[in-house]
């Protein structure tokens, strides 16, 4: 006997345009997720009747791509500036310094041996520090007068490696730079053709900018003035002390503040000029891991108690690096508004899809689709837009950073301390940008998806 009841295919409501239920892949019982993926992908395919929706979808993807790519470019450049500045500061200065509240360390060699025994310490060098004035026949300036150890300071700071000129001219090899730096403890003879009354003088190293300000060259004579070197006179007026030096070399650190202020002599000469005797101002220390300076500082404090005290590079430059970090994150937040705008476009796209697909949503709910299934369909659609834009934006950002790093972008050295734009790609920053962009896009899908899941099937089919 023939069953008069209609078949499932005959009783099913009109499928409507845009969804071919016969093409649905086989779905295991209790797992509707493959169908949801299929429906979500079908909504994003271009159709002539929905060309405007497709255009908005493309613009949403391009907005995410632009936001992620620009964020990667800017953050990489700012990280490059921060790291380059840190390297220059740590090159000119030690990672850790040991000082003394009494004004000088009496037995620096003994303390240096103890410090060298600490795990993580690479090199130690004594130094002498004071502020003075310098003059030549064509100019004068205030300087930081620093005594260095020609044997060990080159292992702690980059002063030796930054030398670019000596008495013989340009320094092109490490051996030439090391020879000039080692000779700092020796008297520098007058240049050929000098007057007969010229005599050998202690050597001094000047920064490039200071050398230009004084209009001197290697072999020329300068005078260093200690304003209160001879104490106070009978009328209460400080009596300055003056000593002549011969320019033994010129260095270039890339930091204008250092190249205009710092002048280097040997520790022996500086101690003699300042009447320190066997004392030095402190010890400079280089470590193998700059992020472990807190632990090493604590170890040094145990073997060098009061009146000694220690400072590390994070203490000495804390405000500067905090400002750089804040600037980077603020710039990141500002540029992330591009991604926010793209996320709003995703909201627009999904709302338009909800409006144009209201009939299909009603049919799905009439066939038994749950609110959760409908919600997941639209969340998947928005997430796909965000995922595609994030992946393409990350790829474009990394390619752009690679091009900038390979070919460089020239900078005016008169304005910046760099000759070209620094680019440093940090995987952590790339991951944070990608994750943040995707999360914003995901959050943008929630409201339209909730509205789609709330469509009443009766209302959706009333006017069809």
Residue 92 reports pLDDT greater than 80: yes
Distance between terminal CA atoms of the chain?
37
Give the pLDDT mean for 142-153: 92
Residue 336 reports pLDDT greater than 70: yes
Give the pLDDT mean for 321-328: 81
pLDDT digits (tens, 9 = 90+) for 368-422: 677 777 778 888 888 888 899 999 999 999 999 989 888 878 777 666 667 778 8
Confidence of residue 205 (pLDDT cuts 50, 70, 90): very high
Residue 44 reports pLDDT greater than 80: no
> What pLDDT score was predicted for residue 147?
93
Cβ contacts of residue 369 below 8 Å, gap of 6+? 32
Residue 196 reports pLDDT greater than 90: no
Confidence of residue 16 (pLDDT cuts 50, 70, 90): very low
Confidence of residue 106 (pLDDT cuts 50, 70, 90): confident
Q: Are 122 and 155 in contact (CB under 8 A)?
A: yes
> What pLDDT score was predicted for residue 2?
45
What letter would DSSP give residue 223? Answer: E
Residue 122 reports pLDDT greater than 90: yes
State the Cα–Cα distance between residues 146 and 229, nearest whole angstrom.
16
Report the share of the chain in percent with pLDDT over 90: 33
> Which two tokens mark 40?
């979500």
CB atoms within 10 A of CB 366: 14
Q: Which one of 82-96, 122-136, 362-376, 438-452 scores highest in mean pLDDT?
A: 122-136
Cβ contacts of residue 438 below 8 Å, gap of 6+? 383, 386, 387, 390
> Which two tokens mark 259?
């190249």
Q: Return the ∠ at Cα 459 (arms to 451 and 349), rounded to 5°.
A: 35
Q: Which helix H or strand E contains 169, and what residues bound it? A: strand 169-170
Bridge partners of 242? 225
| 14 alpha-carbon distance from chain centroid | 59
Of 97, 167, 130, residue with least CA distance to 264 = 130
State the Cα–Cα distance between residues 241 and 230, nearest whole angstrom.
6
Confidence of residue 245 (pLDDT cuts 50, 70, 90): very high
Give the pLDDT mean for 218-245: 83
Q: Which one of 185-199, 347-361, 386-400, 404-418 scores highest in mean pLDDT?
A: 386-400
pLDDT digits (tens, 9 = 90+) for 264-294: 999 999 999 998 888 899 999 999 988 888 8
> What pLDDT score was predicted for residue 11?
44
Report the share of the chain in percent with pLDDT over 70: 82
Strand 187-188 and strand 96-100: the pairing is unpaired
Residue 344 reports pLDDT greater than 50: yes
State the Cα–Cα distance between residues 425 and 402, nearest whole angstrom.
9
Q: Domain segments of the chain: what residues? A: 17-85+322-461, 102-305
- Lowest average pLDDT, out of 282-296, 313-327, 339-353, 360-374, goes to 360-374
The radius of gyration of the chain's CA atoms, rounded to the nearest angstrom, is 36
> What pLDDT score was predicted for residue 395?
94
Cβ contacts of residue 269 below 8 Å, gap of 6+? 147, 185, 202
Residue 49 reports pLDDT greater than 80: no
> What pLDDT score was predicted for residue 234?
73
pLDDT digits (tens, 9 = 90+) for 61-73: 888 898 899 999 9
> What pLDDT score was predicted for residue 26?
60
Give the pLDDT mean for 344-351: 82
Residue 47 reports pLDDT greater than 90: no
State the Cα–Cα distance between residues 57 and 51, nearest whole angstrom.
10
> What pLDDT score was predicted for residue 7?
47
> What pLDDT score was predicted for residue 201?
92
Of 76, 71, 77, residue with least CA distance to 336 = 71
Cis peptide before 307 (omega within 30 of 0): yes
> What pLDDT score was predicted for residue 25?
60
Confidence of residue 345 (pLDDT cuts 50, 70, 90): confident
Q: Which helix H or strand E contains 46, and what residues bound it? A: none
Torsion of CA 307, 312, 316, 318, to 10 degrees: -130
Give the pLDDT mean for 109-132: 92
Mean pLDDT (the chain, rounded): 82
> Which two tokens mark 398?
């990394």
């Amino acid at each position: 006997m023939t069953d008069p009841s209609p078949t499932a295919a005959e009783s099913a409501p009109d499928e409507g345009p845009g969804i071919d239920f016969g093409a649905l892949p086989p779905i295991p019982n209790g797992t509707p997720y493959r169908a949801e993926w299929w429906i979500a992908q079908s909504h994003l395919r271009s159709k002539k009747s929905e060309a405007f929706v497709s255009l908005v979808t493309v613009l949403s993807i391009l907005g995410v791509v632009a936001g992620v790519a620009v964020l990667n470019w800017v953050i990489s450049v700012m990280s490059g500036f921060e790291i380059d500045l840190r390297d220059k500061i740590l090159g000119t200065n030690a990672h850790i310094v040991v000082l003394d509240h009494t004004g000088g360390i009496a037995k620096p060699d003994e303390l240096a041996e103890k410090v060298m025994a600490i795990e993580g310490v690479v090199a130690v060098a004594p130094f002498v520090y004071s502020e003075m004035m310098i003059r030549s026949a064509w100019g004068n300036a205030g300087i930081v007068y620093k005594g260095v150890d020609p044997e060990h300071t080159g292992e702690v700071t980059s002063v030796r490696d930054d030398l670019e000129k000596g008495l013989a001219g340009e320094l092109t090899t490490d051996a030439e730079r090391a020879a000039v730096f080692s000779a700092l403890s020796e008297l520098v003879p007058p240049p050929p053709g000098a007057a007969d009354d010229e005599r050998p003088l202690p050597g001094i190293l000047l920064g490039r900018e200071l050398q230009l300000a004084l209009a001197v060259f290697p072999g020329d004579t300068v005078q260093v003035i200690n304003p209160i070197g001879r104490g106070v006179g009978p009328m209460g007026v400080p009596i300055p002390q003056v000593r002549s030096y011969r320019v033994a070399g010129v260095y270039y650190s890339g930091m204008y503040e250092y190249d205009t202020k710092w002048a280097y002599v040997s520790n022996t000469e500086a101690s003699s000029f300042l009447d320190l005797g066997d004392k030095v101002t402190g010890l400079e220390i280089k470590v193998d891991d700059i992020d472990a300076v807190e632990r090493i500082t604590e170890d040094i404090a145990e073997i060098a108690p009061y009146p000694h005290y220690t400072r590390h590079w994070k203490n000495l430059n804390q405000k500067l690096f905090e400002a750089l970090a804040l600037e980077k994150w603020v710039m990141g937040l500002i540029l992330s508004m591009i991604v926010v705008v793209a996320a709003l476009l995703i909201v627009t796209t999904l709302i338009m899809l909800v409006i144009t697909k209201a009939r299909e949503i009603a049919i799905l709910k009439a066939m038994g689709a749950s609110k959760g299934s409908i919600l997941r369909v639209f969340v998947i659609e928005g997430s796909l837009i965000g995922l595609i834009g994030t992946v393409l934006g990350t790829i474009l950002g990394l390619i752009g950073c690679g091009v900038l790093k390979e070919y460089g972008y020239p900078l005016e050295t008169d304005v910046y301390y760099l000759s070209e734009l620094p680019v440093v790609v940090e995987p952590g920053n790339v991951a944070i940008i990608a994750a943040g962009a995707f999360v914003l896009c995901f959050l943008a899908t929630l409201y339209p998806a909730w509205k789609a899941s709330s469509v009443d099937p009766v209302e959706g089919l009333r006017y069809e």
